[in-house]
Amino acid sequence: MSLVTTHVLDNATGRPAAGIPVRLDARDDDWSPLAYAETDDDGRIRELGPDSLPAGVYRLVFDTASYLGPDAFYPEITVTFRITDPAAHHHVPVLLSPFAYSTYRGS
């Protein structure tokens, strides 16, 4: 399993959100893409990026327009987070609906 994983649940339907492209970026002077993946039928990405990452600031960019449609109010969601313990697993899920979203540090 990757150090960083995610899960997207569609709150409007009560189902996993499958097929959402997600990019993992690292911040140095600017943002550098590290990995790309797409949520599976269970709305999960279990393999996203390397098995280890140094401490630092990262972000997940969710292409929600590909799921919600071209007129989506939130065509993209960016979740920026900090890794302080490079040995710890970081699960960053998103709860999605057409006009709202939330995120939290999962386990």
- CATH code (residue 33): 2.60.40.180
Q: Give the residue from 46, 2, 28, 95 showing the smallest Cα distance to 103.
A: 95
Q: In the Cβ-directed half-sphere of 5, how many Cα atoms lie within 13 Å?
A: 17
Judge whether residue 45 has pLDDT over 90.
yes
Distance CA 102, CA 85 (A): 23
Residue 19's domain comprises: 4-103
* Number of domains the chain is built from: 1
pTM: 0.95
Judge whether residue 1 has pLDDT over 80.
no
pLDDT band at 56; cut points 50, 70, 90: very high
Mean pLDDT of the chain: 95
